[in-house]
Amino acid sequence: MIDRRLLQHFDWVLLSLALVLGGIGMLTLYSAVNASADMANITGSVHLRQSYWFGIGIAVMVLMLVFNYKWLKRWALAVYAFSLILLVAVAFVGKEVSGCQRWLLIGPFSFQPSELIKISVIILLAGYFSDRVSQEGFTLKDLWRPLVWTLIPFALIARQPDLGTSLILLLIAGSMTIFVKIERRSLLCLSAVGIVVSALAWFFLEEYQKQRIFGYLNPEGDPLGAGYHILMSKIAVGSGMLFGKGFLSGSLKALSFVPEQRTDFIFSVLAEEWGFLGSALVISLYLFVVIWGLNIAVRSREPFGTILAVGLTSMIFWQALVNVAMVLALLPVVGVPLPLISYGGSSVLVTMGAIGILLNISMRRFLFKE
Protein backbone atom coordinates (compact mmCIF):
# COMPACT_ATOMS: atom_id res chain seq x y z
CA MET A 1 0.00 0.00 0.00
CA ILE A 2 1.07 3.62 -0.54
CA ASP A 3 2.17 5.48 2.59
CA ARG A 4 -0.37 8.11 3.65
CA ARG A 5 2.44 10.70 3.76
CA LEU A 6 3.06 10.11 0.07
CA LEU A 7 -0.60 10.66 -0.81
CA GLN A 8 -0.40 14.06 0.88
CA HIS A 9 2.23 15.05 -1.68
CA PHE A 10 0.51 13.51 -4.70
CA ASP A 11 1.00 15.51 -7.90
CA TRP A 12 -2.57 16.26 -8.97
CA VAL A 13 -1.43 18.76 -11.60
CA LEU A 14 0.45 16.19 -13.70
CA LEU A 15 -2.38 13.66 -13.34
CA SER A 16 -4.92 16.28 -14.46
CA LEU A 17 -2.83 17.18 -17.51
CA ALA A 18 -2.60 13.52 -18.55
CA LEU A 19 -6.35 12.97 -18.11
CA VAL A 20 -7.22 16.11 -20.06
CA LEU A 21 -4.96 15.11 -22.97
CA GLY A 22 -6.42 11.60 -22.92
CA GLY A 23 -9.95 13.02 -22.97
CA ILE A 24 -9.11 15.30 -25.89
CA GLY A 25 -7.63 12.31 -27.67
CA MET A 26 -10.78 10.21 -27.32
CA LEU A 27 -13.02 13.07 -28.49
CA THR A 28 -10.80 13.74 -31.50
CA LEU A 29 -10.60 10.05 -32.32
CA TYR A 30 -14.38 9.74 -32.13
CA SER A 31 -14.69 12.61 -34.57
CA ALA A 32 -12.01 11.18 -36.87
CA VAL A 33 -13.87 7.90 -37.36
CA ASN A 34 -17.42 9.25 -37.17
CA ALA A 35 -16.98 11.01 -40.48
CA SER A 36 -19.11 9.10 -42.95
CA ALA A 37 -21.46 6.19 -43.35
CA ASP A 38 -18.76 3.80 -44.50
CA MET A 39 -16.79 4.52 -41.30
CA ALA A 40 -19.76 4.21 -38.98
CA ASN A 41 -19.36 0.49 -38.58
CA ILE A 42 -15.93 0.87 -36.97
CA THR A 43 -16.64 4.03 -34.95
CA GLY A 44 -17.76 2.21 -31.85
CA SER A 45 -15.00 -0.37 -31.89
CA VAL A 46 -12.14 2.09 -32.42
CA HIS A 47 -13.42 4.63 -29.94
CA LEU A 48 -14.20 2.01 -27.32
CA ARG A 49 -10.89 0.25 -27.82
CA GLN A 50 -9.04 3.49 -27.21
CA SER A 51 -11.05 4.09 -24.03
CA TYR A 52 -10.26 0.54 -22.89
CA TRP A 53 -6.55 1.10 -23.51
CA PHE A 54 -6.69 4.39 -21.65
CA GLY A 55 -8.38 2.67 -18.72
CA ILE A 56 -5.67 -0.01 -18.69
CA GLY A 57 -3.12 2.81 -18.98
CA ILE A 58 -4.51 4.38 -15.79
CA ALA A 59 -4.11 0.99 -14.08
CA VAL A 60 -0.47 0.83 -15.28
CA MET A 61 0.06 4.36 -13.98
CA VAL A 62 -1.29 3.37 -10.54
CA LEU A 63 0.95 0.29 -10.58
CA MET A 64 3.96 2.56 -11.10
CA LEU A 65 3.05 4.34 -7.84
CA VAL A 66 2.89 1.43 -5.41
CA PHE A 67 6.64 0.81 -5.18
CA ASN A 68 9.66 3.03 -4.68
CA TYR A 69 10.88 4.13 -8.12
CA LYS A 70 14.46 3.37 -7.02
CA TRP A 71 13.61 -0.31 -7.51
CA LEU A 72 13.60 0.37 -11.23
CA LYS A 73 17.35 0.93 -11.03
CA ARG A 74 17.87 -2.60 -9.67
CA TRP A 75 15.75 -4.15 -12.39
CA ALA A 76 16.89 -1.88 -15.23
CA LEU A 77 19.06 -4.44 -17.02
CA ALA A 78 16.43 -7.19 -16.71
CA VAL A 79 13.68 -4.93 -18.08
CA TYR A 80 15.96 -3.87 -20.94
CA ALA A 81 16.85 -7.49 -21.77
CA PHE A 82 13.17 -8.49 -21.74
CA SER A 83 12.26 -5.59 -24.05
CA LEU A 84 15.11 -6.52 -26.37
CA ILE A 85 13.91 -10.13 -26.55
CA LEU A 86 10.47 -8.88 -27.57
CA LEU A 87 12.05 -6.71 -30.27
CA VAL A 88 13.99 -9.68 -31.63
CA ALA A 89 10.83 -11.78 -31.57
CA VAL A 90 9.11 -9.22 -33.80
CA ALA A 91 11.62 -9.99 -36.55
CA PHE A 92 10.58 -13.69 -36.54
CA VAL A 93 6.94 -13.88 -35.49
CA GLY A 94 5.79 -10.26 -35.69
CA LYS A 95 2.56 -9.19 -37.35
CA GLU A 96 3.07 -7.41 -40.67
CA VAL A 97 0.88 -4.44 -41.61
CA SER A 98 1.40 -2.38 -44.79
CA GLY A 99 4.85 -3.84 -45.32
CA CYS A 100 6.03 -3.09 -41.76
CA GLN A 101 6.63 -5.80 -39.15
CA ARG A 102 6.26 -4.01 -35.81
CA TRP A 103 3.68 -5.83 -33.70
CA LEU A 104 3.50 -8.97 -31.58
CA LEU A 105 0.15 -10.72 -31.29
CA ILE A 106 -0.80 -11.50 -27.69
CA GLY A 107 -4.12 -13.29 -27.87
CA PRO A 108 -6.64 -10.91 -29.47
CA PHE A 109 -4.35 -7.92 -28.88
CA SER A 110 -1.29 -6.61 -30.68
CA PHE A 111 1.59 -4.92 -28.87
CA GLN A 112 4.44 -2.80 -30.21
CA PRO A 113 7.68 -3.66 -28.33
CA SER A 114 9.43 -0.60 -29.79
CA GLU A 115 7.29 1.51 -27.43
CA LEU A 116 8.39 -0.46 -24.37
CA ILE A 117 12.09 -0.31 -25.28
CA LYS A 118 12.02 3.49 -25.01
CA ILE A 119 11.25 3.39 -21.28
CA SER A 120 13.66 0.47 -20.83
CA VAL A 121 16.53 2.47 -22.33
CA ILE A 122 15.60 5.52 -20.25
CA ILE A 123 15.70 3.53 -16.99
CA LEU A 124 18.97 1.82 -17.93
CA LEU A 125 20.71 5.06 -18.93
CA ALA A 126 19.41 6.88 -15.84
CA GLY A 127 20.85 4.16 -13.61
CA TYR A 128 24.21 4.19 -15.40
CA PHE A 129 24.59 7.98 -15.45
CA SER A 130 23.44 8.45 -11.84
CA ASP A 131 26.22 6.15 -10.59
CA ARG A 132 28.89 8.08 -12.50
CA VAL A 133 27.92 11.75 -12.22
CA SER A 134 31.01 13.86 -12.94
CA GLN A 135 31.64 17.61 -12.94
CA GLU A 136 34.15 17.21 -15.78
CA GLY A 137 31.64 15.43 -17.99
CA PHE A 138 31.49 11.97 -19.55
CA THR A 139 34.21 10.91 -21.99
CA LEU A 140 34.00 8.53 -24.94
CA LYS A 141 35.36 5.80 -22.67
CA ASP A 142 32.42 6.36 -20.31
CA LEU A 143 29.84 6.49 -23.09
CA TRP A 144 30.51 3.28 -25.02
CA ARG A 145 28.03 1.27 -22.94
CA PRO A 146 25.13 3.76 -23.25
CA LEU A 147 25.92 3.97 -26.97
CA VAL A 148 25.70 0.19 -27.41
CA TRP A 149 22.56 -0.03 -25.27
CA THR A 150 20.92 2.56 -27.54
CA LEU A 151 22.19 1.43 -30.93
CA ILE A 152 21.10 -2.21 -30.58
CA PRO A 153 17.36 -1.43 -30.26
CA PHE A 154 17.79 1.43 -32.74
CA ALA A 155 19.01 -1.03 -35.38
CA LEU A 156 16.25 -3.55 -34.59
CA ILE A 157 13.52 -0.88 -34.80
CA ALA A 158 14.95 0.67 -37.98
CA ARG A 159 14.92 -2.81 -39.56
CA GLN A 160 11.13 -3.22 -39.05
CA PRO A 161 11.21 -0.54 -40.66
CA ASP A 162 10.17 2.21 -38.21
CA LEU A 163 12.35 5.25 -38.79
CA GLY A 164 10.25 7.53 -36.58
CA THR A 165 10.50 5.47 -33.38
CA SER A 166 14.19 4.70 -33.94
CA LEU A 167 14.96 8.42 -34.30
CA ILE A 168 12.92 9.23 -31.19
CA LEU A 169 15.04 6.70 -29.29
CA LEU A 170 18.22 8.48 -30.40
CA LEU A 171 16.78 11.88 -29.45
CA ILE A 172 15.85 10.63 -25.97
CA ALA A 173 19.29 9.09 -25.36
CA GLY A 174 20.97 12.22 -26.73
CA SER A 175 18.92 14.50 -24.48
CA MET A 176 19.79 12.47 -21.38
CA THR A 177 23.49 12.36 -22.30
CA ILE A 178 23.69 16.10 -22.90
CA PHE A 179 21.88 16.73 -19.62
CA VAL A 180 24.44 14.79 -17.57
CA LYS A 181 27.21 16.67 -19.42
CA ILE A 182 29.74 15.43 -21.99
CA GLU A 183 33.41 16.37 -21.98
CA ARG A 184 33.96 18.92 -24.78
CA ARG A 185 36.30 16.90 -26.99
CA SER A 186 34.06 13.88 -26.70
CA LEU A 187 31.04 15.99 -27.66
CA LEU A 188 32.82 17.33 -30.76
CA CYS A 189 33.90 13.82 -31.74
CA LEU A 190 30.39 12.38 -31.33
CA SER A 191 28.91 15.30 -33.28
CA ALA A 192 31.30 14.71 -36.18
CA VAL A 193 30.55 10.98 -36.22
CA GLY A 194 26.81 11.73 -36.07
CA ILE A 195 27.01 14.02 -39.11
CA VAL A 196 28.92 11.43 -41.14
CA VAL A 197 26.61 8.58 -40.12
CA SER A 198 23.53 10.71 -40.92
CA ALA A 199 24.87 11.32 -44.44
CA LEU A 200 25.66 7.64 -44.98
CA ALA A 201 22.25 6.59 -43.60
CA TRP A 202 20.64 7.79 -46.83
CA PHE A 203 21.95 4.70 -48.62
CA PHE A 204 20.26 2.40 -46.09
CA LEU A 205 16.80 3.98 -46.22
CA GLU A 206 13.89 2.12 -47.77
CA GLU A 207 12.65 3.56 -51.06
CA TYR A 208 9.38 4.79 -49.52
CA GLN A 209 11.37 6.59 -46.82
CA LYS A 210 13.43 8.41 -49.45
CA GLN A 211 10.22 9.34 -51.25
CA ARG A 212 8.85 10.83 -48.02
CA ILE A 213 11.91 13.06 -47.75
CA PHE A 214 11.52 14.14 -51.39
CA GLY A 215 7.83 14.75 -50.69
CA TYR A 216 8.74 16.93 -47.72
CA LEU A 217 11.22 18.99 -49.74
CA ASN A 218 8.86 19.41 -52.71
CA PRO A 219 5.32 18.16 -51.97
CA GLU A 220 3.91 19.90 -55.05
CA GLY A 221 6.23 17.84 -57.24
CA ASP A 222 4.23 14.67 -56.54
CA PRO A 223 0.86 15.81 -55.13
CA LEU A 224 -0.82 12.42 -55.55
CA GLY A 225 2.13 10.39 -54.29
CA ALA A 226 4.94 11.28 -51.89
CA GLY A 227 3.63 14.78 -51.25
CA TYR A 228 0.00 13.80 -50.68
CA HIS A 229 0.18 13.37 -46.89
CA ILE A 230 1.82 16.74 -46.35
CA LEU A 231 -0.39 18.67 -48.77
CA MET A 232 -3.67 17.29 -47.36
CA SER A 233 -2.48 17.84 -43.80
CA LYS A 234 -1.55 21.49 -44.51
CA ILE A 235 -4.90 22.11 -46.19
CA ALA A 236 -6.80 20.56 -43.24
CA VAL A 237 -4.86 22.58 -40.67
CA GLY A 238 -5.21 25.81 -42.62
CA SER A 239 -8.93 25.33 -43.23
CA GLY A 240 -9.54 25.39 -39.48
CA MET A 241 -8.48 29.06 -39.40
CA LEU A 242 -8.86 30.76 -36.00
CA PHE A 243 -11.87 29.05 -34.39
CA GLY A 244 -12.20 25.86 -36.46
CA LYS A 245 -15.21 24.29 -38.13
CA GLY A 246 -16.59 22.73 -34.97
CA PHE A 247 -16.76 19.24 -33.49
CA LEU A 248 -17.67 16.57 -36.10
CA SER A 249 -17.71 19.25 -38.80
CA GLY A 250 -14.35 18.84 -40.51
CA SER A 251 -15.04 18.40 -44.24
CA LEU A 252 -11.57 17.18 -45.24
CA LYS A 253 -11.64 14.69 -42.42
CA ALA A 254 -15.17 13.57 -43.29
CA LEU A 255 -14.19 12.87 -46.89
CA SER A 256 -11.08 10.99 -45.71
CA PHE A 257 -8.73 13.23 -47.66
CA VAL A 258 -6.29 13.25 -44.74
CA PRO A 259 -4.54 9.85 -44.51
CA GLU A 260 -3.83 8.11 -41.19
CA GLN A 261 -6.14 10.57 -39.46
CA ARG A 262 -6.66 8.26 -36.48
CA THR A 263 -2.96 7.87 -35.77
CA ASP A 264 -0.06 9.93 -37.13
CA PHE A 265 -2.18 12.79 -38.53
CA ILE A 266 -4.81 13.10 -35.82
CA PHE A 267 -3.54 16.60 -35.00
CA SER A 268 -4.75 17.76 -38.43
CA VAL A 269 -8.28 16.57 -37.50
CA LEU A 270 -8.07 18.52 -34.26
CA ALA A 271 -6.74 21.63 -36.04
CA GLU A 272 -9.48 21.55 -38.70
CA GLU A 273 -12.28 21.29 -36.15
CA TRP A 274 -10.91 23.52 -33.37
CA GLY A 275 -8.76 25.93 -35.35
CA PHE A 276 -5.67 27.81 -34.25
CA LEU A 277 -6.99 28.42 -30.73
CA GLY A 278 -7.76 24.76 -30.09
CA SER A 279 -4.42 23.67 -31.55
CA ALA A 280 -2.58 26.25 -29.44
CA LEU A 281 -4.38 24.96 -26.34
CA VAL A 282 -3.28 21.37 -26.99
CA ILE A 283 0.31 22.44 -27.68
CA SER A 284 0.23 24.49 -24.48
CA LEU A 285 -0.90 21.43 -22.53
CA TYR A 286 2.08 19.46 -23.85
CA LEU A 287 4.38 22.36 -23.02
CA PHE A 288 2.98 22.43 -19.51
CA VAL A 289 3.58 18.66 -19.16
CA VAL A 290 7.21 19.14 -20.25
CA ILE A 291 7.77 22.07 -17.89
CA TRP A 292 6.16 20.15 -15.03
CA GLY A 293 8.25 17.07 -15.78
CA LEU A 294 11.45 19.12 -15.75
CA ASN A 295 10.28 20.72 -12.52
CA ILE A 296 9.95 17.23 -11.03
CA ALA A 297 13.50 16.51 -12.17
CA VAL A 298 14.82 19.68 -10.53
CA ARG A 299 13.02 18.97 -7.25
CA SER A 300 14.18 15.35 -7.05
CA ARG A 301 16.62 14.86 -4.20
CA GLU A 302 18.84 12.23 -5.76
CA PRO A 303 20.54 11.79 -9.17
CA PHE A 304 18.65 8.73 -10.40
CA GLY A 305 15.25 10.41 -9.95
CA THR A 306 16.47 13.58 -11.63
CA ILE A 307 17.95 11.86 -14.70
CA LEU A 308 15.01 9.45 -14.97
CA ALA A 309 12.53 12.35 -14.93
CA VAL A 310 14.53 14.15 -17.63
CA GLY A 311 14.49 11.03 -19.82
CA LEU A 312 10.74 10.42 -19.45
CA THR A 313 9.94 14.08 -20.06
CA SER A 314 12.15 14.15 -23.15
CA MET A 315 10.26 11.12 -24.51
CA ILE A 316 6.94 12.98 -24.31
CA PHE A 317 8.51 16.19 -25.61
CA TRP A 318 10.19 14.71 -28.69
CA GLN A 319 7.15 12.64 -29.69
CA ALA A 320 4.80 15.61 -29.43
CA LEU A 321 7.23 17.94 -31.21
CA VAL A 322 8.00 15.58 -34.08
CA ASN A 323 4.35 14.66 -34.61
CA VAL A 324 3.09 18.26 -34.68
CA ALA A 325 6.02 19.39 -36.86
CA MET A 326 5.31 16.51 -39.25
CA VAL A 327 1.62 17.46 -39.52
CA LEU A 328 2.58 21.10 -40.15
CA ALA A 329 5.06 20.04 -42.87
CA LEU A 330 8.03 21.28 -40.83
CA LEU A 331 9.53 17.77 -40.79
CA PRO A 332 9.28 14.76 -43.14
CA VAL A 333 6.58 12.17 -42.47
CA VAL A 334 8.19 9.61 -40.15
CA GLY A 335 5.23 8.02 -38.39
CA VAL A 336 5.35 9.15 -34.75
CA PRO A 337 2.11 9.07 -32.68
CA LEU A 338 0.91 12.09 -30.70
CA PRO A 339 1.11 11.04 -27.01
CA LEU A 340 -2.28 10.19 -25.44
CA ILE A 341 -4.17 11.51 -28.50
CA SER A 342 -3.25 9.23 -31.43
CA TYR A 343 -4.95 5.85 -31.59
CA GLY A 344 -2.74 3.02 -30.34
CA GLY A 345 -2.75 0.87 -27.23
CA SER A 346 1.01 0.42 -26.94
CA SER A 347 1.66 4.16 -27.07
CA VAL A 348 -1.05 4.90 -24.49
CA LEU A 349 0.21 2.24 -22.05
CA VAL A 350 3.83 3.36 -22.27
CA THR A 351 2.98 7.05 -21.98
CA MET A 352 0.73 6.46 -18.95
CA GLY A 353 3.47 4.30 -17.45
CA ALA A 354 5.89 7.20 -17.91
CA ILE A 355 3.39 9.57 -16.24
CA GLY A 356 3.10 7.10 -13.35
CA ILE A 357 6.88 7.03 -12.83
CA LEU A 358 7.01 10.85 -12.92
CA LEU A 359 4.26 10.95 -10.28
CA ASN A 360 6.25 8.42 -8.25
CA ILE A 361 9.38 10.59 -8.35
CA SER A 362 7.39 13.71 -7.52
CA MET A 363 5.63 12.40 -4.42
CA ARG A 364 8.72 10.67 -3.01
CA ARG A 365 10.98 13.71 -3.18
CA PHE A 366 10.04 14.52 0.41
CA LEU A 367 11.49 11.29 1.78
CA PHE A 368 15.13 11.66 2.79
CA LYS A 369 15.74 8.01 3.75
CA GLU A 370 13.84 5.25 2.04
- Render pLDDT for 338-347 as a digit per residue (tens, 0 to 9): 999 999 889 9
In a domain, 368, yes or no: no
Any domain includes 369: no
Q: Which pLDDT does position 37 carry in this prediction?
A: 41
Q: What is the mean pLDDT of residues 257-272?
A: 82
Contact yes or no for 270/323 (Cβ under 8 A): no
| pLDDT tens sequence across 282-316 | 999 999 999 999 999 999 989 999 999 999 999 99
Model pLDDT for residues 162-186, shown as the tens digit of each residue: 888 999 999 999 999 999 989 888 8
Q: Which residues, 6+ apart, have CB-to-CB distance to 307 below 8 Å?
A: 125, 126, 129, 130, 176, 179, 180, 297
Neighbour-count burial for 337-355, b at 16+ CB within 10 Å, e otherwise = bbbbbbbbbbbbbbbbbbb
Please tell me the predicted confidence (pLDDT) of residue 48: 81
Q: Are strands 109-111 and 100-106 parallel, antiparallel or unpaired?
A: antiparallel
Residue 122 domain flag:
yes
Identify the CA nearest to 168 among candidates 345, 349, 305, 311: 311
For residue 3, pLDDT over 50 is answered with yes
Is 370 among the domain residues? no
> At 47, phi and psi to the nearest 5?
-65, -45
Structural domains of the chain, count? 1
Range of the domain at 19: 4-363
The answer to whether position 27 is within a domain reads yes
**pLDDT tens figures, 42-80:** 445 677 888 999 999 999 999 999 899 999 999 999 999
> How many angstroms separate the CA atoms of 207 and 340, rounded?
30
E-strand stretches of the chain: 95-97, 100-106, 109-111
302 domain-assigned:
yes
Q: What letter would DSSP give residue 338?
A: P
